[in-house]
Structure 1
Amino acid sequence: MTLLRRYPAMLAAAGIALVLASAATLAIPSGFKLVIDKGFTSGGGAQDIGRWFQYLILIVIVMALASASRFYFFSILGERVVADIRMAVQRHLLRQPPSFFEENRPSEISARMTADAAVIELIVGSTISVALRNMLTGVGGMIYLFTIAPKLTAYLLVGIPVVVLPLLALGRRLRGLSRDSQDGVANVGSMTAEILGAMRIVQAFGQEEREADRFAAAVGRTLSIARKRIRMRAIITAVAFFLIFGSIVAVMWQGALDVAAGRMTGGSIAAFVITGGLVAGAFGSLSESWGDLLRGAGAAGRLGELLASEPGLASPANPVSIPAGDGGVRIGFDHVNFRYPTRPDRLALEDFTLDVQPGETLALVGPSGAGKSTVLQLLLRFYDPESGAIRLNGMALPDAALGDVRGLMAFVPQETIIFAASARDNLRYGRWDASDAEIWDAARAANAEEFLRDLPQGLDTYLGDNGARLSGGQRQRIAIARAMLRNAPILLLDEATSALDSRSEHLVQQAIERLMHGRTTIVIAHRLSTVRSADRIVVMDQGRIAEHGSHDALMQQGGLYARLASVQLTDSETKADAAPAA
């Protein structure tokens, strides 16, 4: 209802059309009463009868125009409300930290925003207007019936609790089934997205039949719940129609006896019969609308859960500006402890203390799972530490606005993200106002210019879902060019050259070294060539700093770094001999 109040003019127009349509519908029995009592029995002949039928035609015209207006305004309202819901949910999701998406599958969220929003669109655009029309018709019809035959109408009112109470009891059961059905539909949509996104792996490992069976099982479960929901709706419909029309027939029987006894006119009983049919049809249709409304309530509840989730990370109410530094930004980790929400039993960083001086290039190395990427994620404030503090130029991250913190950083992740958009939009994602000349400069520096110019439409070429039209090395070079174009004082590189062949790596490494000048840089790397160029190397193991120093000093110590470097040196030499073009 809150969203509907945003459109008062359209809501008022829809309400007026709704009242006119119901009033015109209820005026039809009155018209037939006049035709029978005044047209046929007055002795005025064909001309008098025609006058009353003209009155009926006028009512029908008003009913048709009002019904069309009702449909139009409610349908537009439905579209607008659903658009507002989708935008509100998307805006809310963009404020959620990565931990939210670890606990809530993005594919399932996507299914909620499509399937559940479509249900709400149907409810607002159609079901609500039909339900309100039927309610007005039913209530107005009952009032009109009282004016025609109070005794017969009283009989109908006595039967209302007999009709309503069973429907309410069955409706509670239907609401639960509707919610389960929506969950099943969302799960099927989520599974579809997951399988299609991993199609190459599915086919490479020959798992087509297994995935087909798994999908069929999910569809089967959804179908089973749908059968129960449809069966319950059918039972509600049968009970409603039997009770409503049964009571109408019983009352009509009494009315026929009153006409035979001369206590009612023929026009009155005709109007009563027609109005009674309209009332019965209106209340009978309400039972079907009730089922749809319950289904809509389930869909709204699922979307409401997304909107109700509070962001775990947010900017402070009164953010403080990050102090300006000389020669770059100083980064400080002060006794930081951190666990991922999905792995609460294991410390990802333990008593982690590190200072990175302005303009310094720091390399993080260590075995898989040592906590290297965690350092970058905490610095970007995707998470907050359990204890300790992280500072930029001496100021703790939670004291500054999130946008200000991340605005100081350019990030190249290990898993390259390419949007389903043009090459231009992917390159300028970090600085949307960049000119084409600046884009080409960044592409040239990242060794991406050559293949970008070879694309069919150049920078306007659509790159496909996650850059499906590019090789792994090309995608990574676009990510590096994107970071170069951002031109931020802090540079974060997570395996930024891992997918490049030796020639491209050498050229990109030169570009990165130029980009590092005057910037505070943290590099996560496995290749020795990347590590050697760093001012300082920090070796991590199990969330702690095991060693730190220069390459030569660490090699002389003969510790963890020396063992990693000897293996990496062999690997890099092998890759140099047999590296394919990226």
Structure 2
Amino acid sequence: MKNSQEGIQTRWQAVKMAADFITPYKRQVIYSLLALLFTATITLSIGQGIRLLIDQGFATQSKELLSQYVGIFLLLVIALAVGTFTRYYWVTWLGERVIADIRRKVFNHLIYLHPGFFEQNRSLEIQSRLTADMTLLQTVIGSSVSFALRNLIMMIGGIIWLFITNAKLTALVMVCVPLVVAPILIYGRRVRHLSRQSQDKIALVGAYVGEVLGQIKTVQAYNHQSIDQSTFHDQVEEAFAVAKQRTTQRALLITIVIILVLGAVGLMLWVGGMDVIEGRISAGELAAFVFYSVIVGSAVASISELIGELQRAAGAAERTIELLHAPNLIQSPAKPHPLPEVFGNITIDRLNFAYPSRPEVLAISQLSLTIHAGETLALVGPSGAGKSTLFDLLLRFFDSQSGSIELEGIDIRQLDLFALRHCFALVSQNPSLFYGTISENLRYARPDATDAEVELAAKTAYAHDFIRMLPQGYQTHLGDSGLGLSGGQKQRLAIARALLADTPILLLDEATSALDAQSEFWVQQALQHLMRNRTTLVIAHRLATVQSADRIAVLDHGHLDALGTHTELLQSSALYAQLAALQLQPHSEI
């Protein structure tokens, strides 16, 4: 009972969502409805044209009357064609416009969601929802709903004309209406459930394809193609199995409706033919009645078929609503505290944090640390010590369970989120470059930067020379994730971007660990420029790169193990001394 109520509530939410997006386009909706009514009226009028053509044209043997009624019939056909064009244009326009608005709203919501949401939901599956689901909704809003309304009007109008033409024959048709409606209600719920399952399976297929193709070098390097083929085959077959069940239910529904509707038409033709033979009705009336019966029957059959499509759209709408209603757990306060001039003073006090996916494991445990403006603080420790997690908390990608982080004496949770992040520039081990030109990638932090400022940043980051050697220089297009550039080149572009951002605090996350000696040399030169007069936090596994830091914080399992200079830590921290012994002292040859 509870699931049924939830299903009804979700369907109403889907209808409300569609209505909210359609409401701004009332004028276009009116145009569509007027064209819809016009074409339905013309179609129904054709039945009377057929009656007059037979009774007044063929039966009277009058060439003049025959020509007159054929002319009227052709005018009705032309009017129907014009009305159909108008209806199709406005309905399709409305569908495209509404789906574009829904896509934009969903994307605008997603792009502000906290990163924890994407830790628990696959990004590629979400991408499928923005494409496959939206395409289905566009078909329904831009075509199916209009088609359903048209058939509904045709059905009601056809029934009215049936009663006007011959009430006795109409009664025979009406007996079959409950028989047609019953299977629609019975199978409709099954189709809707299977439609939701089908959309979920298709989304998983799309997500898997994106993941494999996005890592194609790794796939081929490990000769993993056959395993991926097998996995993809299984996922496709699962999607096909659900689609087959849905198709079977829809096919049964359509088959039953056709048998019942056309069976009623056959019975009606037999009774009506007897009446024509006995002279109780004219041949023209029977022809008009047959026409309206076919109109009503095809309308009912079409509506029953469309219900299956509408059920699929309901599943897509539910998934879209889930995205739109996904809560954003990291937001600016209602009344943010004004941000004073930022020099880079950071105070971390008894910080505790566990990731939502692993709530029982503290990634940061009772961490207290003071970072002074303008100093370079290195964070070292084994993998899983909490170094990158600390960066996530500084940028408020997540909020700690307890404790606080203060910037210039103000708790960062009291600050406007955008103002806070504007204080930081991040250079990671794997810099994020986007599909587009080098110039666009450098301007990512400052879209209003001039060409001169972009070039100066590139020169300072030792990137200008290799950029000039590319085919189109700064206008050279990069592939996804900077495909086509070396690791050192990507890092120098990321450093140039951070220089353009010109923030008071710099976060370096393993910025040189994956580079060869020559690339590391140029990146280190660029970093020296970037770190000048900035508060800098450096994550590094290689101690040789951080010995010159003002202070080094040694983290272990989320807590602060020791704090001091390289020389001091060699004496005071067993963990740091162990790391130094492994990395800095020469090893004897085996």
Q: How high is the TM-score relative to the length of structure 1?
A: 0.95
Whole-Å Cα distance in 1 between the matches of residues 411 and 434 of structure 2? Answer: 32
8 Å Cα contact 2:373-2:535 kept in structure 1: yes
Whole-Å Cα distance in 1 between the matches of residues 471 and 568 of structure 2? Answer: 50
1:279 to 296, 300, 305: 296
Paired position in structure 2 for 1:554: 569
Whole-Å Cα distance in 2 between the matches of residues 121 and 570 of structure 1? Answer: 65
Comparing 526-535 with 277-286, greater Cα deviation is found at: 526-535
8 Å Cα contact 1:334-1:390 kept in structure 2: yes
- After TM superposition, list the pairs within 5 Å mapping 1:14-25 onto structure 2: 14-25=32-43
Paired position in structure 2 for 1:406: 421
Say yes or no: does 1:524 pair with 2:539. yes
Paired position in structure 2 for 1:232: 249
Change (3 A) 1:539 1:571: farther
2:94 to 77, 102, 106: 77
- After TM superposition, list the pairs within 5 Å mapping 1:484-563 onto structure 2: 484-557=499-572, 559-563=574-578
2:30 to 3, 9, 12: 12
Change (3 A) 1:572 1:78: farther
1:152 to 169, 174, 186: 169
Paired position in structure 2 for 1:566: 581
Paired position in structure 2 for 1:579: none
8 Å Cα contact 1:182-1:299 kept in structure 2: yes
Residue type at the aligned position of 2:520: E
1:38 to 45, 48, 56: 56
Paired position in structure 2 for 1:577: none
Paired position in structure 1 for 2:10: none
Change (3 A) 1:572 1:206: farther
Say yes or no: does 1:302 pair with 2:302. no
Paired position in structure 1 for 2:385: 370
Say yes or no: does 1:477 pair with 2:492. yes
Q: CA deviation at 1:152?
A: 2.2
The C-alpha deviation readout for 1:482-503, integer Å capped at 9, x for no partner, is 1111000111111112233334
Q: CA deviation at 1:368?
A: 0.5
Say yes or no: does 1:431 pair with 2:446. yes
Whole-Å Cα distance in 1 between the matches of residues 307 and 111 of structure 2? Answer: 34
8 Å Cα contact 2:429-2:509 kept in structure 1: yes
1:292 to 293, 309, 317: 309
The C-alpha deviation readout for 1:179-205, integer Å capped at 9, x for no partner, is 111111111111111111111111111
- After TM superposition, list the pairs within 5 Å mapping 1:162-201 onto structure 2: 162-201=179-218
Change (3 A) 1:333 1:515: same
Paired position in structure 2 for 1:318: 335
Residue type at the aligned position of 1:20: F
Residue type at the aligned position of 2:20: T
Whole-Å Cα distance in 2 between the matches of residues 458 and 217 of structure 1? Answer: 46
Paired position in structure 1 for 2:234: 217
Change (3 A) 1:69 1:233: same
Paired position in structure 2 for 1:461: 476
Query: Could you say what secondary structure the match of 2:444 adopts?
Result: helix
Change (3 A) 1:127 1:570: farther
Paired position in structure 2 for 1:113: 130
Whole-Å Cα distance in 1 between the matches of residues 556 and 588 of structure 2? Answer: 25
Q: CA deviation at 1:72?
A: 1.4
Whole-Å Cα distance in 1 between the matches of residues 308 and 53 of structure 2? Answer: 39
Whole-Å Cα distance in 2 between the matches of residues 259 and 572 of structure 1? Answer: 109
1:334 to 349, 355, 360: 349
Residue type at the aligned position of 2:439: R
Comparing 535-544 with 71-80, greater Cα deviation is found at: 71-80
8 Å Cα contact 2:460-2:529 kept in structure 1: no
Residue type at the aligned position of 2:254: T
Query: Could you say what secondary structure the match of 1:79 adopts?
Result: helix
Change (3 A) 1:221 1:282: same
Q: CA deviation at 1:421?
A: 1.1
Change (3 A) 1:408 1:571: farther
Whole-Å Cα distance in 1 between the matches of residues 333 and 160 of structure 2? Answer: 58
Where in structure 1 do 4 or more consecutive aligned residues deviate above 4 Å?
570-574
2:45 to 24, 27, 41: 27
Report the identity percentage.
45
Q: CA deviation at 1:432?
A: 0.9
2:467 to 421, 433, 452: 452
Whole-Å Cα distance in 2 between the matches of residues 573 and 265 of structure 1? Answer: 112
Paired position in structure 2 for 1:132: 149
Residue type at the aligned position of 1:282: A
Whole-Å Cα distance in 2 between the matches of residues 268 and 571 of structure 1? Answer: 106
Q: How high is the TM-score relative to the length of structure 2?
A: 0.94
Whole-Å Cα distance in 2 between the matches of residues 191 and 489 of structure 1? Answer: 41
Paired position in structure 1 for 2:79: 62
Whole-Å Cα distance in 1 between the matches of residues 525 and 562 of structure 2? Answer: 27
The C-alpha deviation readout for 1:333-383, integer Å capped at 9, x for no partner, is 111110011111200001111111122221111111000001100000000
Q: CA deviation at 1:33?
A: 1.2
Paired position in structure 1 for 2:16: none
Query: Could you say what secondary structure the match of 2:50 adopts?
Result: helix
Q: CA deviation at 1:171?
A: 1.2
Query: Could you say what secondary structure the match of 1:218 adopts?
Result: helix
Comparing 68-77 with 147-156, greater Cα deviation is found at: 147-156
Query: Could you say what secondary structure the match of 1:430 adopts?
Result: coil
8 Å Cα contact 2:562-2:572 kept in structure 1: no
8 Å Cα contact 1:163-1:244 kept in structure 2: yes
Whole-Å Cα distance in 2 between the matches of residues 495 and 443 of structure 1? Answer: 21
Paired position in structure 1 for 2:402: 387
The C-alpha deviation readout for 1:522-577, integer Å capped at 9, x for no partner, is 11112334312221111000000000011111112252112212323259999xxx
Whole-Å Cα distance in 2 between the matches of residues 506 and 567 of structure 1? Answer: 23
Q: CA deviation at 1:7?
A: 1.4
Whole-Å Cα distance in 2 between the matches of residues 165 and 171 of structure 1? Answer: 10
Whole-Å Cα distance in 2 between the matches of residues 405 and 530 of structure 1? Answer: 28
Q: CA deviation at 1:101?
A: 0.7
Residue type at the aligned position of 1:11: V
Change (3 A) 1:558 1:303: closer
Residue type at the aligned position of 2:70: F
Whole-Å Cα distance in 2 between the matches of residues 449 and 564 of structure 1? Answer: 37
8 Å Cα contact 2:554-2:563 kept in structure 1: yes
8 Å Cα contact 1:351-1:544 kept in structure 2: yes
8 Å Cα contact 2:562-2:573 kept in structure 1: no
The C-alpha deviation readout for 1:91-115, integer Å capped at 9, x for no partner, is 1110111111111101111111111
Query: Could you say what secondary structure the match of 2:141 adopts?
Result: helix
Residue type at the aligned position of 2:352: N
Whole-Å Cα distance in 2 between the matches of residues 237 and 363 of structure 1? Answer: 69
Comparing 552-561 with 475-484, greater Cα deviation is found at: 552-561
Whole-Å Cα distance in 2 between the matches of residues 300 and 82 of structure 1? Answer: 11
Cα-Cα RMSD: 1.8
8 Å Cα contact 1:473-1:500 kept in structure 2: yes
Residue type at the aligned position of 2:468: R
8 Å Cα contact 1:448-1:474 kept in structure 2: yes
- Structure 1, unmatched stretches of 5+, are 575-582
Q: CA deviation at 1:407?
A: 0.8
Query: Could you say what secondary structure the match of 1:7 adopts?
Result: helix
Change (3 A) 1:144 1:509: same
Whole-Å Cα distance in 1 between the matches of residues 565 and 571 of structure 2? Answer: 10
8 Å Cα contact 1:476-1:499 kept in structure 2: no
Whole-Å Cα distance in 2 between the matches of residues 429 and 352 of structure 1? Answer: 33
8 Å Cα contact 1:528-1:572 kept in structure 2: no
